[in-house]
Amino acid sequence: MEPNSQKSNPSAMYTLISVFFFWGFVAASNGIFIPFCKTHFNLTQFESQLIDFTFYGGYFIGSLILFYASKISKVDILNKLGYKNGIILGLVISAAGALSMVPSVESGSFALILTSFFFIAIGFSLQQTAANPFAVALGTPETGAHRLNLAGGINNFGTLLGPIVVSIILFGTASSAVAKEVEITSVITLYYILAGLFLFVAAFFAISKLPKVTSDEKIEASGKTNIPLFVIFIGFILILASGPLTDMTGLSKSVFVYAALVIIVGTLLLSLSAASKDKNGWGAMQYPQLILGMLAIFTYVGVEVSIQSNMGALLKLPEFGAYDESVIAPFISLYWGSLMIGRWTGAISAFNLSKNTKRILTIVVPFIAFAVILTANYLNGTPVTQFFPYAICVAILVAGFFYSQEKPAKTLATFGILGVIAMIIGLATTGQISIFAFLSGGLCCSIMWPCIFSLSITGLGKYTSQGSSFLIMMILGGAIIPPVQGILADTSGIHLSYVVPVVCFAYLAYFAWKVSSVLKKQGVDVSHIEVEAAH
């Protein structure tokens, strides 16, 4: 990657980070839109999770199209297009998707609404693929992590404000205890606003003088990866076709949903076995840490999304407060805010500070971030005193950071185990304790992406860029795991369905142990691996 200049370009960076805000804003807003759609369209829990399926599936399909287009043409399509133009095109596609939401909502067709979500995500996929390397290139390589951490912080503000703002637009408030019927005009207004903002930022990018960023990395051959990626695509389609397949065969819809999960996970494990026997033709997937990491990213994104996507249904239960969908925004905001707490804390290590200063900030910053979350909700009229006990969870996060000592494998193992414990506590209790236990999954997820990413691409050499592309594709987990939890909720109850996050966190803890062993055999000391910038 070659920046236009070795000097920093703050005006270009400030322009660029606006798109990071949108990713967080829209993704976090799904937690409000999902329960609305469930009620409005009288959906099952599984059907409501198809919003996340299409949204994160759009990321997967977008990445897959870009990968194969570049592979077939033997030209890096995005590099030829230019990162700036790639972002502009992505914003225009997302704007088109948002505008298509207007006739979709007016038609009363949930299928058309899902299609609109898909195109918004296709645009996001292109934006994300271009924006991350663009941010790194806007200055010296040594400060690239700082710029991505800044962008990640803006993304976190999006996740914090998204649920609150969307709830206000849909329900008129984010905190009223009075259930309100959502007017369709409110939904249409929301997507007109989003489309307008996307187009405004696209126009701003078009007229902004941004440096030209190019890459001289070659596309590495990897013929044997075609079949696994195709089979994973089939697994993705299987969930989409589960309704018609159920009608055709008479089998339960859960059969096809669980089969999709088995196909995807099984394909990765079989690829791991095959590549270990003959590395030729596997490209980046010849390295076990990469395939194990693909499964880890799949699991991590899946559990991060699934916990909050199913939270609206959980909070409707009498033993969890019997909340209406018009008043769950503060809880969704706290969940996504929990990721902000962890990421702000994790960003401390990116700065050249003394050990004592880092220790002090590791204690202070998480509670400052927590105060920001409470303040945002308080200003919207939410009684935030109900969230004060959550400070205990934040204190446990701080203890986890000190124990992990900034080592990615140890950090991932620590928060994976804490995630398992939190989910088990949530399953074993009800009421506020259970809600806070499930919400603390956000704290556990917060620091996982950079740890998984760093461990997965270590030792890949010339295949690092290709390996990164495969890891981005595994955002697919956000499309698969929420419907899996949703179908389990329909058959066994929403509370019991949170056993799915238990399994996910357990694998992430296992990955930390397993990848350490794999890298050790390759002569890599995992204690000296530097953590990549946060997602």
Could you give the percent of the chain with pLDDT greater than 70?
A: 87
Max mean pLDDT range (233-242, 403-412, 446-455) = 233-242
Distance CA 28, CA 299 (A): 18
Could you give the percent of the chain with pLDDT greater than 90?
A: 40
Q: Between these two residues, 241 and 351, which has the higher pLDDT value?
A: 241
Q: What is the band of 270 on the pLDDT scale with cuts at 50, 70, 90?
A: very high
Q: Between these two residues, 473 and 535, which has the higher pLDDT value?
A: 473
**What local confidence, expressed as pLDDT, does residue 30 receive?**
75
- The per-residue pLDDT of the chain, averaged, comes to 84
For residue 129, the SS3 value is: helix
Distance CA 131, CA 138 (A): 11
Q: What is the band of 179 on the pLDDT scale with cuts at 50, 70, 90?
A: very low
Beta strand ranges found along 49-191 (DSSP E):
none
**What local confidence, expressed as pLDDT, does residue 259 receive?**
95
Q: What is the band of 458 on the pLDDT scale with cuts at 50, 70, 90?
A: confident
Residue type, 398: V
DSSP 534: P
Mean local confidence (pLDDT), 230-239: 93
**What local confidence, expressed as pLDDT, does residue 141 receive?**
55
Distance CA 34, CA 23 (A): 17
- Summarised one tens digit per residue, pLDDT across range 115-156 is 998 999 898 888 877 777 677 667 665 555 556 666 776 777
Rg (the chain; Cα; Å): 22
Which residue is listed with tokens 């700036």?
84
Max mean pLDDT range (184-198, 364-378, 496-510) = 496-510
Cβ–Cβ under 8 Å, residues 310 and 327:
no
Structure tokens at 34: 């999902």
**What local confidence, expressed as pLDDT, does residue 457 receive?**
85
Closest CA to 49 of 502, 480, 495: 480
Residue 34 has pLDDT above 70, yes or no: yes
What single string gives the DSSP state of each residue in 380-438? TT--GGGGGGGHHHHHHHHHHHHHHTT-HHHHHHHHHHHHHHHHHHHHH--HHHHHHHH
Residue 417 has pLDDT above 90, yes or no: yes
**What local confidence, expressed as pLDDT, does residue 224 receive?**
87
Q: Between these two residues, 327 and 301, which has the higher pLDDT value?
A: 301
What single string gives the DSSP state of each residue in 438-454? HHTHHHHHTTHHHHHHH
The answer for residues whose C-beta is within 8 angstroms of residue 328's C-beta and 6 or more apart is: 31, 32, 35, 167, 311, 312, 315
**What local confidence, expressed as pLDDT, does residue 75 receive?**
72
- Summarised one tens digit per residue, pLDDT across range 328-362 is 888 988 998 899 899 888 878 767 788 899 899 99
- Kind and range of the H or E run holding 517: helix 499-521
**What local confidence, expressed as pLDDT, does residue 155 receive?**
77
Structure tokens at 395: 């204190």
Helices 110-137, 83-107: axis angle to 10 degrees equals 160
**What local confidence, expressed as pLDDT, does residue 343 receive?**
85
User: Which pTM does this prediction carry?
Assistant: 0.86
Cβ–Cβ under 8 Å, residues 253 and 246:
yes
**What local confidence, expressed as pLDDT, does residue 32 receive?**
73
- Summarised one tens digit per residue, pLDDT across range 358-382 is 899 999 999 999 999 999 888 878 8
Residue 186 has pLDDT above 90, yes or no: no
**What local confidence, expressed as pLDDT, does residue 3 receive?**
46
- Summarised one tens digit per residue, pLDDT across range 272-302 is 999 999 888 898 899 999 999 999 999 999 9
CA torsion, ordered 400, 405, 407, 412, to nearest 10 deg: 0
**What local confidence, expressed as pLDDT, does residue 1 receive?**
46
**What local confidence, expressed as pLDDT, does residue 428 receive?**
96
- Summarised one tens digit per residue, pLDDT across range 53-88 is 998 898 899 888 888 887 787 777 777 777 788 889
